[in-house]
Structure 1
Amino acid sequence: MTTPLEGLATIVGPGNMLTDPTDMAPYLIEERGLYRSSAQAVVRPGSTAEVAAVVQICAEAKIAMVPQGGRTGLCGGAVPAGLDRAIVIATERMDRIRVLDPVDFTMTVEAGCVLASLQAAADEAGCLFPLSLAAEGSCRIGGNIATNAGGTNVLRYGSTRDLVLGLEIVLPDGRVWNGLKSLRKDNTGYALNQLFIGSEGTLGIVTAAVLKLYPRPTERQTALIGLPDSQAALTLLGQARRASGDAVTACELMSRLALDLAVRHIPGLRDPLGTPSPWVLLLELSSSRPGGLREALESVLSQALEDGTAQDAVLAESGTQRQALWRLRESIPEAQKHEGGSIKHDISVSTSRVPELIERASAAVADALPGARPVAFGHIGDGNIHFNVSQPEGADKNAFLDEWPRLNRVVHDIVMGMGGSISAEHGIGRLKAAELARIKPDLDIELMRRIKTAFDPDGLMNPGAVLIP
C-alpha cells in the first residue's frame, strides 16, 4: 500500500519532495530565529492542481499542513512549530504571471511570485503595483495576502487587502475555490475573498490572485526632515496632503535613536541633516502627472522651517539620493540586531494619537525595565509604529528576551486602552496567538473559531497559527 508521503512524492516529483533534514532546514526556521521546527516533509508543488492533490492526501491522512511563501514572516506563522505530524507546502515554484492587463489595470499572478518581480512586471507595462516593504526582494505574494501585509505605501494605496480583487484558494479538503474575478463591484453575497486575506493559511492556501494596478508615477519628490517632536510629523503630513492634492505616498517617522543606530551599524549610511533633531520624517509625494510636486513640497518645507515645525530638511535631487534616504529608514531593523536583543511591537492607533502612544509606551517601558531603549519608527501616516525595545547597554541578551511577554503586556495594554491593534501589518502567527486570546473580546474569538471550524473542521490547516488550538 502506498504511504501518504509516497503519494505526495508522486504528485510533485522526487526532486520537489524534501525529507532529508539538511534539505528541509531552511524551511523550518522563522525569520527572527524564534522558532526552529521539524516536519515530516517539505513539498513544493508547481501548480494549483498539484496543491489540491497534496492537500487531499493530507486531509485523508489527517496530516497537518503549513503553507509557506518566502519565509520572511515575523510571527512564526509559516513554520510548523510544536506540531507532531506536519508537512510544509512551499509555493515557491508557482511563480507565473498568468495575465497582465494594462487596460483593466489588473494582473493575475500565482502565489509564489516574488513581490519585487511583480513590481517590475507592472512597471514594464507602464503600471504600478504599489505594495512595497523591506522584504520585497524575497517575500512572495501568497504570503503577503495571507498576512495582509502593509508596508510603506498604505497611506496612499491601502494594505494588501485593498489591492486584491480575486483569489484562487485550495480549501482544507482539497477542493479548489475559484474566485479569480477582476470585478471592481460585486455584491453577490458574502465577500469570501476577504475571509482568506489575513487568515495566515488557517482557512485554505492561496494559489493565485487578481491584483489591482495603478498608473506608473512619473514624478517622485522625497524629503528627509528633522523635527522637534513627533507631533510635528502630523502637522507636516496634513500640510503636505493639502498642498499636493493628496499626493503623499509615504510618511515614515524615525526617532533619533533609530536613525543613529542605522548610521552606526550599516556601512555606507550617513545622516544628511545638519541638525541632530529628536525626530526625523521621511516624506514622499508621487504622481502619474508630472510637474507641481516639487513646488508643493518646497512650499510646505519652507513654511515649516520658518514656523519651527521643522528644524532641518533635505530634498532628494536624484534617484540615487532618494534611494539613500530610503535606506536610512529600511536599515533600522537590521541595525538593531547589532545592539543585542530586541523586543518587537507592531502596533497601531488612530493616526492622530501616535505621538501620545509613543510617549506613554516609552514611559511605561522605562518603569518596567530601566535602561531598556525604545526604538520607535514606522508608518505614522497610517497610524502604524514599530515600537521595538533594544536591550539595556551591556545587558545579557537572553535575560532581556525573557522579558518579552511582560513587555508585550505593558505595551499592548496601552495600545488596547487607546482603541488600537497589537498587530498592524505583521499578522498573529504563533508568536501572538496567546496574546490575541488575551486581548480580544470573547465574542470575537468565538466568531473566529466558528469560521475556522466551518472551513477546517479537522483543524489541519496551519494549526496553532492565529488561534490557540
Structure 2
Amino acid sequence: MPDTLAPATAAGPADAALLDDLGGILGPKGLLTGPDMAGYLSDWRDRISGRAVAVALPASTAEVAAVVRLCNARGIALYVQGGNTSLCGGSVPDPSGRALLLSTRRLNAVREIDPVSNIAVVESGMVLAHLHELAGRHDRIFPMHLGSEGTAQIGGLISTNAGGVSAVRYGTMRNLVAGLEVVLPDGEVISRLGGLRKDNRGYDWKQLFIGGEGTLGIITAAALNLHARMTARSDALMAVASPEQAVRVFERLRARFDTKVMACEMVSGTEVALTLKHVPGLRFPLAEMPDWMVLVELGDIGGAEALQDALQTCLGELLEEGVIDDAVLCQNLRESQELWKWRHSFSEANKKAGHGIVFDASLRVRAVPEFLARAIPAAAELAPWAVPLVVCHLGDGNAHLIMLNRAEDRHLIADMEALTHAMFDRIHDIIADLDGSFSAEHGVGRKLVDEMVARQPAAEIALMRAIKRGIDPQGRFSPGVIVAD
C-alpha cells in the first residue's frame, strides 16, 4: 500500500548540528542527505515510503556504535537497512522525518573463512551472492538461495530469518547462524563470533536478533555455517494435476532421496506464464503449460551419474503410476540453471505485472492443498478479477499465494488498502484454522503489525514487548516494526 508523504522540510538548527556530528564520525563518504537518500526511503516494491534526517553509511562496527550513541543522546530514532529487498517494509523509516536510517552497505568485509570448521565470519553488509563466491573458492557452499541474492545482504537475511528454496534441507537463516556481533540501543557491542558448535554460556542471545528486524539491535557481523559442496546434482520439472499430487511427489522424493533433496518447489501455471511474459530471455522446457508443477533439485557428494540415473528411474515410476503427468530431467548444468532462473524471476515478474496482495503462509506440508483450496476462492470472492499465483516451498510448507491485481484492472479497485485488509482477514483466518502462521519467511515489518497484535496470544505480545523494553527502553530502534505499541 503506497504511502503518500509530504516532502521533507529543510533542516533546522538541531538537524544541522546532528549532521555535523554524524559527518565527524562517518567522514565524507558515510553520510547522505537530500535527494541522495531517495533510493533508501521506499521499499523494493515502492509501496511503503518514509523520511529520514539522513542516511548513515558506517564502515565499521565502531562507527555503528558511535552513531547509535549519538542518536541515543539526541533522542533520535534509528532504522537499519541492508539490501532493501524486504517485502514487509521493516527497513523503511517512518513518515515523521525525525529518524536516522543506517545502511550496512559499507560493512562488507570478510573477517575469516575456516573451511576446516566450516565457518565463515563476514560483516552484515556482504551481499549473499558474494558469500556464495567466497564459499566456492574454499570448496564449500552457503546454502541460502533466493531470487534477490544479488542484492540481499547477510544482516538483512538474518534480521528477517530468511528461508529460500534450500530450507527443506538446511533450514532457515536461524539454522545457519553460529554467532553474531550486535550493537545494542545504548551503543554497547556484544560479540560471540567463535562459531562454536556447542556453547552453553547462558541464554542463546543471538536468537533474539535473528528475526528481530532491527528492533533490538544492529547486526554488524555474523559467524555462518558452511557446508560441503555437492559434487553431484540432478534437477527436474514435473507436471502434476493438483497440489495433492504435488504433495505425493514430495513424499516419494523424500522417501527415496532423504537429505539429497536440496529444494522442492510447487508453482502454479499462472505464475510461470506470467513470468515468461514479463521477464525476457527465459526458456520453458515443457511443450504445454500445466496448471501445477513441481521443481526438484537433488544434491550429493557421490557420483553424478548415479544420482541422475536414480532420479530418472523415480520419474519413470511416478509417470507409470499416474502421480505426475509429464517430466523433464535436466541433462547438464546449463539446463538446471535455466530451470531455476525462471523460478527466481517470479518476484520481478509480479512487480512488473501489477499489484499483488501477498500471503506468506507457513503450514504443515499435508495442509498446503487444503489451504489453497480454501484460500483461492475466498480471495476471489473479494477480487474476482485478480489472478491467483502460487509459489510454494513445498518441502517446508511455506505457501505464497499472490492475488495479482493487473495494471489494467486497477480501475476496478476503489480502495486498495481496504481490499488488502479484507483479504488479510479472510486468508489469515484460514491459516489460523489450519494451525499455521501468517508470516513464514518474509518477516512482519510494518505490513503485519496489526495482524500480530490482533492474532497472537496476549501473553506472547506482552512477552515480546517486555523483551523490547528490556533491551531498548527508549524505543529508539525501528519504532513501529513487529510489535509496535
TM-score, L = length of structure 1 = 0.97
The correspondence for 2:351, drawn from 321, 332, 337, is: 337
Check conservation: 2:315, 2:327, Cα contact below 8 A: yes
Alignment partners' CA distance in 1, 2:310 and 2:372: 29
- Taking the TM superposition and a 5 Å limit, the aligned residue runs for 1:441-460 are 441-460=457-476
- SS in structure 2 of the partner of residue 375 of structure 1: strand
Aligned to 1:28: 41
2:477 counterpart of 1:461: yes
Which of 359, 365, 368 lines up with 2:382 in the alignment?
Answer: 368
Tell me how far 1:323 sits from its aligned partner: 1.2
1:58 alignment partner, one of 55, 71, 87: 71
Displacement, 1:275? 4.2
1:399 aligns with 2:414: yes
The superposition leaves residues 52-81 of structure 1 with CA deviations (integer Å, 9 ceiling, x where unpaired) of 011001011110000111111111111102
Query: SS at 1:108's partner residue?
Result: strand
Q: Identify the match of residue 193 of structure 1 among 206, 224, 234.
A: 206
Task: State whether structure 2 residue 175 is matched by structure 1 residue 162.
Answer: yes
Task: Compute the displacement of 1:282 (Å).
Answer: 0.6
User: Is the Cα contact below 8 Å between 1:412 and 1:422 reproduced in 2?
Assistant: yes
2:437 aligned to 396, 421, 427, which one? 421
Segment of structure 1 superposing worse, 384-393 or 110-119:
384-393
Structure 2 counterparts to residues 26-425 of structure 1, below 5 A: 26-291=39-304, 292-391=306-405, 394-396=408-410, 399=414, 401-402=416-417, 403-425=419-441
Cα distance, 1:347–1:444 mapped onto 2, change above 3 Å: same
Cα deviations across residues 231-265 of structure 1 (Å, max 9, x unaligned)? Answer: 11121112112222430000111111111111222
Partner of 1:3: 17
In structure 1, give the amino acid aligned to 2:328.
V
- Provide the C-alpha distance between the structure 2 equivalents of 1:129 and 1:339, rounded to a whole number of angstroms: 32
Aligned counterparts of 2:352 and 2:81: Cα–Cα separation in 1: 28
For 2:352 and 2:108, the matched residues in 1 are separated by 34
Q: Distance in 2 between matches of 1:113 and 1:392?
A: 35
Distance 1:58 1:392, change over 3 A: closer
- Identity over aligned residues, as a percent? 42
1:409 Cα shift? Answer: 1.4
Cα 1:356/1:310, change in 2 over 3 Å: same
- The alpha-carbon deviation at position 271 of structure 1 amounts to 2.6
- On the 8 A contact 2:45/2:351 being kept in 1, the answer is no
Cα 1:275–1:309 change in 2 (3 A) is: farther
Quote the Cα distance in structure 2 between the aligned partners of 1:182 and 1:448: 27
Cα 1:245–1:340 shift into 2, 3 Å: closer
Q: How far, CA to CA, are the matches of 1:245 and 1:355 in structure 2?
A: 22
1:193-251: CA deviation from partner (whole Å, max 9, x where unpaired): 10110000000000000000001111110001000111111211121122224300001
Does structure 2 retain, via aligned residues, the 8 Å contact 1:265–1:335? yes
- 1:49 Cα deviation after fit: 0.5
Give the distance between the partners of 2:325 and 2:287, measured in 1 at CA.
9
* Alignment partner of 1:14 is 2:31: no
Distance 1:404-1:87 versus aligned 2 partners, 3 A rule: same
Q: Is the contact made by 1:167 and 1:181 (CA closer than 8 Å) also made in structure 2?
A: no
Q: SS where residue 79 of structure 2 aligns?
A: strand
Asked if the contact 2:109–2:122 (Cα under 8 Å) also holds between the matched residues in 1, the reply is yes
* Cα offset, 1:338, TM superposition: 4.0
User: Using the alignment, how far apart are the partners of 1:232 and 1:400 within structure 2?
Assistant: 37
Judge conservation of contact 1:236–1:300 (CA < 8 Å) in 2: no
Contact 2:240/2:294 (8 A) holds in 1: yes
Aligned length: 468
Deviation at 1:141, TM superposition (A): 0.2
Give structure 1 regions of 4+ aligned residues with deviation exceeding 3 angstroms. Answer: 397-400
The residue correspondences of 1:429-440 to structure 2 (distance < 5 A) are 429-440=445-456
Task: Quote the Cα distance in structure 2 between the aligned partners of 1:319 and 1:288.
Answer: 16
Unmatched runs of 5 consecutive residues or more in structure 2:
1-13
8 Å Cα contact 2:448-2:482 kept in structure 1:
yes
- Would the aligned equivalents of 2:250 and 2:394 in 1 still touch at CA under 8 Å? no
CA 1:244–1:332: 2 relative to 1, 3 Å: same
Separation of aligned partners in 2, 1:340 and 1:102? 45
SS in 2 for 1:59: helix
How far, CA to CA, are the matches of 1:151 and 1:368 in structure 2? 30
- The TM-score, its normalising length taken from structure 2, stands at 0.94
Q: Is the 8 A contact 2:113 2:121 kept in 1?
A: yes
